[in-house]
Structure 1
Amino acid sequence: MSAFTLDHLSQGREAVIKRLLPDSLPFRQKLLAMGMTPGCKLTVMQIAPLGDPIEINLRGFLLCLRRREAAAIEVEMVV
């Protein structure tokens, strides 16, 4: 497994959240409240044509994140 930030994953890729980076501090509580905790598996469902927002499937629901928010989430790709 290799570590990336969520904004570098392509559509259809699965990953596991490794950690929330320090850049996530302004919106960290919102991410945690939505279930974005370390060890949680997610799938990139869609990426908007201009790259922002990114839609992910997480814990059985769809969530859209701004690219800036996705860049603050370190993930490990599932091979």
Structure 2
Amino acid sequence: MALTNVMMGKHVVLNTINGSDKLKRKLRDMGLTDGVRFMPVLKTKNGPMVVEIRGTRLAFSDQVAAMLDVTPLNA
């Protein structure tokens, strides 16, 4: 499921990044590695999606958020 389809405040696990090698490398350098657990915390109508990962908040455009394949967690 794409990150853009996840409800705010719901923890997810990153499965894969669907994008160019350059984008994958950049996001991995920012802490988005396969299997990492994080939570989307804010999404405005025309703004970025903000996620909290490892105690840090990162903002992604809708296009980048759509490339992040995640699995929602129940807890």
Does the alignment reach a TM-score above 0.5?
yes
> What TM-score do the two structures reach when normalised by structure 1?
0.85
Unaligned runs of 5+ in 1: none
Runs of 4+ in 1 over 2 A off after TM superposition: none
* 3-state SS, counterpart of residue 12 of structure 1: coil
Quote how far apart the aligned CAs of 1:37 are. 0.6
Match of 2:52 among 43, 48, 57: 57
* Alignment of 1:17 onto 2:14: yes
Task: Please list, as runs of the form range in 1=range in 2, the aligned pairs for 1:1-79 lying within 5 A after superposition.
Answer: 4-21=1-18, 24-25=19-20, 26-48=22-44, 50-79=45-74
Pair 51,13 (structure 1): closer, same or farther in 2 beyond 3 Å: farther
Quote how far apart the aligned CAs of 1:30 are. 1.0
What is the aligned residue count? Answer: 73
Q: What CA RMSD, in Å, does the superposition of the two structures yield over aligned residues?
A: 1.1
* 3-state SS, counterpart of residue 32 of structure 1: helix
Unaligned runs of 5+ in 2: none
Quote how far apart the aligned CAs of 1:58 are. 0.7
